Structure 1
Amino acid sequence: MSASRLELRPSQLSLASGNRFGIARLVGWIGGCRCLPILAMAVWAGSVKAVEPTVAVTQDQAHQWVVALGAPTFAERERAMGEILRAGTPMVPHLRQAVREFRDPELVQRAEFALSKLTVDDLESRIATFLDGTAESGLLARQWFSGWEQFALMVGDSIPLRELFVKVMKSHPRITQSLAEGTVERSLAAQEAVVTIETAIRQKNLPPTVADGVALLLPLTDQAVTAGVRYEEIILGVFNRLYGTV
């Protein structure tokens, strides 16, 4: 069957009953993106297990750095800011919690600044560095982008795969982040991705993207994530629109 004429229906999959062979067949037919067949085989055979994140920052360290943002001396506050920015995106939830819970104006202001550097201001420059394809930037990205380490272990590391990861991260940030978390987070991220994709297709009349398809497949590399009939239908709809007719 030609990939350009791929057409599948929900009856060809049985995700709700735990049979993921249909996903492997689905993606195996699709050419042009090296990671998709690999993801499909991981979903089908369960050969890729959930990878525990490398803990670069402990809870105690994160708490100490956040508290030190309100330290008595300027040097202590600056040192804490430097540690937080070097730690990268793993500090984001700690900073958000600090903004919500702390009452020290100096601490909150610095936490908000660090958040902006890690989530907005510095994002594009880090992406540009990441996409240069060097081994060094790949290692740095493990700290910068939650989920990259797990993604690279599953599908490999190349410039096209980095570009794909960035597209998924921008379109479905909770999906990539959940790769460094647990089954519950992956399940919630999967459901959020479904809502986002359905809204784009039905309300905004936007076509699905390859990043949408990959985002839906990634949570299924965790065999403990359950996918219901609706999830199955969305996956089929996305790939039929991308590679065939609905």
Structure 2
Amino acid sequence: MNGLGKLLVFHFLMCLGQTVQGFKIINGETAPENSMQYMVSVQTKYGKHICGGFLITEDFVITAAHCNDEGPYQILLGSHNLKGMNKKMLKIENTCKPSTYQNVGLGDDIMLIKLSEKVPPSNMIQTIPLPTSVINLYQNQICSVAGWGKTLTNRFGVNELRVVNVSIINRELCLEKWNEPFPLNVICAGGYGTTKGFCQGDSGGPLVCNSKAVGVVSFNRNANCNYPDVPNVYTDISRFLPWINKILKENTCQL
């Protein structure tokens, strides 16, 4: 997966230098064609990949709030290959973050993007469902994460979408392994006890369990993707359903 670009060290952990936004897929494989057609690339005006994201309606995408830091301008849909020919580019009409979001380390790292026009479902572009209520994932439950981020800590991102299976890690173990202040409303999966996880460039992509997008790639520690390390951290989408549903109902993405 492509790198996010600048690495953000979050304010309340600056002295520790440990929390860094998620970048690439580690020890994954190229995503099969005609799969994960909800995946999008959030890009700058000049076509640079910033973050991943995923289409949830014909004109709304979910990504991570920290992806707004690099000035997202457009969305690539309909292609696993960032350089491919069969892709669709749409401008971003607006973005909306929770009013409680301050930085990644403090949590609430989720953002809705309103597209400039609707994208009808096709054999190349599909939406992915969200949970309908607060979810309870279990230890070692197998889920997946995909993106265009790095495949090793010191490498660049990739043009072809990659995917890897990761196991859910319960919050108690996650807190124990991080052993420092930790945000609420997150899910831990991969990165610890395994050689698999996300890396820089994968931020904003979905954690998919039982064919639903349940999490948003948020951060790992110190830009280290040489797993096993500490658990990877995702924003728990189910905790933001009222906020998401309100925006979708009003069909506008404004605070």
TM-score (norm 1): 0.24
- The structure richer in helix per residue is 1
- The structure whose Rg is larger is 1
TM-score (norm 2): 0.24
- The structure richer in strand per residue is 2
